[in-house]
A and B are shown apart, each in its own frame.
Chain A
Amino acid sequence: MTAAEELEVIEKVRGGDTDAFEALVTDNQKKVYNLALQMLGSENDALDISQEAFIKAYTSLQGFRGECRFSVWLYRLTYNICIDYLRKKQRTPVSSLTYLDDDGEYADLEIPDMRYEPGCEAEKRELREALEKGIEELLPKHREIIIMREMTGMSYEEIARTLGINEGTVKSRLSRARQSLVLLLNSYGTFTKNSRHNGSKEVEKHG
């Protein structure tokens, strides 16, 4: 949905068309659900919290001024509900290993000098499992920020406003979160297993 389409739907809903809201649900539910799932670790909790986020978005629709995309507003809402929920349950996100402190040194980040590219489904699944494990072992604020970036695709600016930090901090924190993840995956042997030699594909992809 484009920003304009979002606003159209919102106007309809404000005009009394409750059913129109369903388009916003369908469009955003995957990201909302996965954000909640990663933050809470439980499918049931994720379902409950996701529904609560949509309902709250609906009932607070008057307060949405359109200063950002509805979807971003919704992800922010979801994140805040998750934080409140975790606080109430006195659950702190898991972090068993402190691989890197906040000022990780590059010297530690030795990974094999090969291009990492999982080929078949089995390799991809291995990577996903390793990733899941690795994310769980990150420092809480690293875990949170990488989840937020990877699950919702929010820009650095949007993440900055959601977390109440400045963009520079988002940039550096994400960088350190990734460094930690790579170290962790390396320790599981993920990168050594499935490396290929390739040309400079990555540079072209982002060119």
Chain B
Amino acid sequence: MAECSKYLELISAYVDNELSGDKKKELEQHLEGCAACRSILSAYLGINEAAHEAMAEPPESLATGVMDRLRQLPAEPHAAVSKLKHKSTLKPVIISFIAAAACLALVFVAAPQLLRSGIRQDVAGSAASVNEAASEENALFSEKAQADSAGSDMAADNAGQSSLSGQSADAVPKLATSSKDAESSSGLTAAQPTSSDTTSKIAGSEDTSKYCAVIWIDGQLPDILQNYQMTETDDGTFRIEVSAEEAKTLMAAGSYVFVNGSEDALTALVIYTPAG
């Protein structure tokens, strides 16, 4: 029987469909004449079949549990920042400098009266605008961090990217370039086509001069907006008009991406994308 030892491995590979050509023919010929090896093959096949029949059905909670947790994955700025340690941390720093510079430029463009009134007199006003610039910078920085990170929340990445590109229409060209660089380096290859679709939608349909701000909220709608009138759009998002005061509260929260619009407008627009 020992001479059949060389066939053992062939029989095993045969069961796994990993045997072909000459070796396969050789084995098949041998099997026709060797009962012992046929018994071995039969035993291996029996094991294979039994193993498959023994496979358990996974509980329903497996799939539902996974999807529930995936839908809850937040687009948290601090969570995204902690992932940065795996990537180059230089880019976000550079971008935030550019963003800060651009924001300050935006503030001065949007609020020229600050220059006129002088810093001594309008301390409160300038402090408010500096805060605004800072929070805008944070919003942009955190959004960039999301784009650079492995990306746990794809929806937020998209909304974030498209809002930046939308901003480029508002005379902040440097920002647009740097965001494009970040986009290409973040490795989000498949995301590109989708984000440009959203970009054109937002740039095209949103009249930012009508509102004092446009704010993008993804996933969880904050309490203050729960009872508001919402209108659904074609792309599955909802538009909510809020007062300037409420908009300021939302922007100050630091969790949402936004662009500033017209100083004089009394309302702001919230674009809400529900989770999943």
- Listed in ascending order, the chain A residues whose CB lies under 8 Å from chain B are 10-11, 13-19, 21-22, 25-26, 29-30, 32-34, 37, 43, 47, 50-51, 54-55, 58-63, 105-107, 109-118, 124, 127-128, 131-132, 149-151, 155-156, 171-172, 174-175, 178-179, 181-182, 185, 191, 200, 202-203, 205-207
Contacts and interface: CB of A to CB of B under 8 A. Distances in A.
B129 interface: no
Nearest to B190: A14
Given A14-B154, A15-B190, 11 more contacts: A18-B73, A22-B63, A37-B56, A43-B56, A50-B58, A111-B40, A150-B48, A151-B51, A175-B8, A181-B47, A200-B38
A100 B39 CA distance: 19
Chain A CB count within 10 A is highest, among B9, B51, B55, for B51
A47 B61 contact: yes
A179 B8 contact: yes
Q: What does DSSP make chain B's interface, helix, strand, loop or mixed?
A: helix
Contacts of A191: 43
Select the residue from A10, A116, A124, A200 with max chain B CB neighbours within 10 A.
A116
Contact of A19 (B16, B67, B151): B67
B171 interface: no
11 contacts: A16-B155, A17-B154, A30-B57, A61-B151, A62-B151, A105-B5, A112-B39, A175-B8, A175-B12, A200-B31, A202-B45
B43 A185 contact: yes
B253 interface: no
Contact of B16 (A50, A60, A106, A156): A156
A202 B42 contact: yes
A18 B70 contact: yes
A29 to B, nearest CB: 5
Given A21-B70, A106-B5, A151-B55, A16 B154 contact: yes
A156 B54 CA distance: 22
